[in-house]
């Protein structure tokens, strides 16, 4: 038994409330369960409203497995608990007294929760035979309407999580949204393998240095390659030497490091995702769209966003993947699937964060048509949920929501915080 289970029972009133009585035989009526306090300190619910033997009470409420936990947690010496009007427990093993020696009324939940609820809770949280997630056997039975509502909330929750990271980045980026956008796009172009290395590259020089190079494609590519540590070796390749010379000039002009230790990786990457290719494309995006952030914020549709991301590699990289090794000529423009990844994982979270920062209230409705128009991502998480319930991952909204669900709830056994878990336990 976990306190979290009792919290969910109280919060959603999933108990037989027809003839509630305290452990001293007083009649009890619940008018309002109160506001759930999910912080580390203070009573579990604030401003609950109850009626005990005809007396109306408004105050706080504490929940424990055993009533003696009150003393185990030293609540009797904590003034934060002086206004507790009801002690809700699974079992009362001792009476609890206030400082004035009056008894705190106690509700023993074991008499008012069905055995089916307890069994469902225990089966879900102690599913030792699970292959993937606790509710995998019953996931297909979850009401579709309730599931879709939960997925929308999970997507917004994921945006909120990213919003916090973006605002932290804003603080260290001179409160410049253009700079934040530049850094986030750099990280996105590096994908999972080189994202951090590309982010380090974008942080290695003042953003104003990059801006001064936006109009000069060779300088911009040299700056990105130099700060990314791709120009450290010796090579007889003509273009390599050209970039190296250009970066040397920029390093002297802007007092940049002459050599940067390379953090980029090539291992297990498809050639089109090589850091050389992605950096060249990244430089081309900002050469063509020096005011990219402002343009992205103005975009209203998936197509407008996609059109803003038109980019390809510089001439040299059409016939190369690495320096000095020629390959068959290929334009190497950004693919639609890569643009979609940028929109899903970087641009929409950026638009969300900016809208919230500006106090705009329609950001959800402006983002919703775009995210639902995008195809879902294909990964182990989305494939896993699709195997449990056919066609459950219909768009990028669902794929993002399921990533949030799996990583923030399923993997952490937070079934009692999940609407699916609550539905399966309390239905």
195's enclosing H/E stretch is helix 191-203
Region 101-127 average pLDDT: 93
In DSSP terms, 184 is beta-bridged to none
In DSSP terms, 108 is beta-bridged to 89
Over the stretch 182-232, which tens digit does the pLDDT of each residue have?
999 999 999 999 999 999 999 999 999 999 999 999 999 999 999 999 999
The predicted structure's pLDDT at residue 273 = 98
What Rg do the C-alpha atoms of the chain give, in angstroms?
29
The predicted structure's pLDDT at residue 60 = 97
* pLDDT-above-90 percentage for the chain: 91
**Could you give the 3-state DSSP secondary structure of residue 173?**
coil
308's enclosing H/E stretch is helix 302-308
Region 275-294 average pLDDT: 98
pTM of the model: 0.90
Q: Is residue 427 very low, low, confident or very high in pLDDT (cuts 50, 70, 90)? A: confident
The predicted structure's pLDDT at residue 126 = 84
Residue 80 has pLDDT above 80, yes or no: yes
Rounded to the nearest integer, the mean pLDDT of the chain is: 96
The predicted structure's pLDDT at residue 40 = 81
The predicted structure's pLDDT at residue 412 = 94
Q: Is residue 32 very low, low, confident or very high in pLDDT (cuts 50, 70, 90)? A: very high
Over the stretch 162-177, which tens digit does the pLDDT of each residue have?
999 999 999 999 999 9
Distance CA 60, CA 42 (A): 9
Residue 364 has pLDDT above 80, yes or no: no
Query: Which tokens sit at 9?
Result: 């029972």
The predicted structure's pLDDT at residue 24 = 96
Region 53-77 average pLDDT: 96
């Amino acid at each position: 038994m976990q306190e979290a289970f009792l919290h969910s029972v109280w919060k959603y009133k999933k108990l037989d409330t027809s003839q509630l009585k305290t452990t001293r035989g007083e009649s009890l009526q619940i008018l309002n369960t109160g506001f759930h306090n999910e912080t580390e300190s203070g009573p579990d619910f604030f401003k609950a409203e109850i009626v005990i033997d005809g007396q109306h009470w408004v105050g706080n409420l504490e929940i424990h497995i055993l009533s003696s936990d009150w003393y185990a947690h030293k609540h009797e010496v904590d003034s934060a608990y002086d206004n507790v009007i009801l002690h809700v427990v699974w079992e009362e093993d001792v009476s609890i007294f206030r400082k004035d020696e009056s008894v705190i009324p106690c509700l023993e939940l074991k008499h008012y929760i069905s055995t089916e609820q307890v069994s469902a809770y225990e089966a879900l949280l102690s599913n030792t035979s699970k292959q993937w997630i606790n509710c995998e056997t019953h996931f297909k039975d979850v009401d579709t309407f309730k599931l879709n509502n939960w997925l929308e909330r999970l997507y917004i929750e994921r945006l909120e999580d990213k919003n916090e990271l973006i605002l932290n980045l804003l603080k260290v980026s001179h409160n410049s949204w253009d700079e934040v956008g530049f850094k986030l796009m750099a990280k996105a172009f590096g994908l999972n393998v080189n994202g951090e290395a590309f982010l380090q590259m974008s942080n290695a020089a003042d953003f104003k240095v990059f801006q001064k190079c936006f109009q000069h494609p060779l300088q911009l590519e040299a700056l990105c390659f130099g700060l990314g540590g791709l120009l450290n070796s010796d090579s007889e390749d003509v273009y390599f030497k050209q970039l190296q010379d250009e970066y040397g000039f920029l390093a002297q002009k802007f007092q940049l490091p002459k050599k940067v230790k390379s953090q980029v990786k090539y291992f297990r990457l498809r050639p089109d995702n090589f850091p050389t290719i992605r950096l060249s494309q990244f430089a081309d995006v900002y050469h063509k769209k020096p005011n990219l952030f402002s343009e992205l914020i103005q975009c209203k549709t998936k197509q407008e966003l996609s059109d803003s991301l038109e980019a390809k590699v510089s001439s040299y990289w059409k016939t190369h993947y690495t320096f000095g090794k020629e390959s068959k000529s290929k334009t190497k423009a950004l693919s639609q699937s890569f643009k979609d990844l940028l929109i899903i994982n970087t641009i929409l979270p950026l638009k969300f964060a900016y809208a919230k920062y500006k106090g705009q209230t329609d950001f959800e409705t402006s983002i919703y048509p775009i995210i639902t128009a995008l195809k879902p991502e294909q990964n182990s998480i989305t494939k896993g949920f699709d195997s449990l319930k056919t066609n459950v991952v219909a768009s990028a909204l669902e794929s993002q929501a399921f990533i949030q669900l799996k990583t923030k709830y399923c993997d952490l056994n937070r079934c009692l915080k999940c609407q699916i878990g609550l539905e399966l336990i309390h239905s």
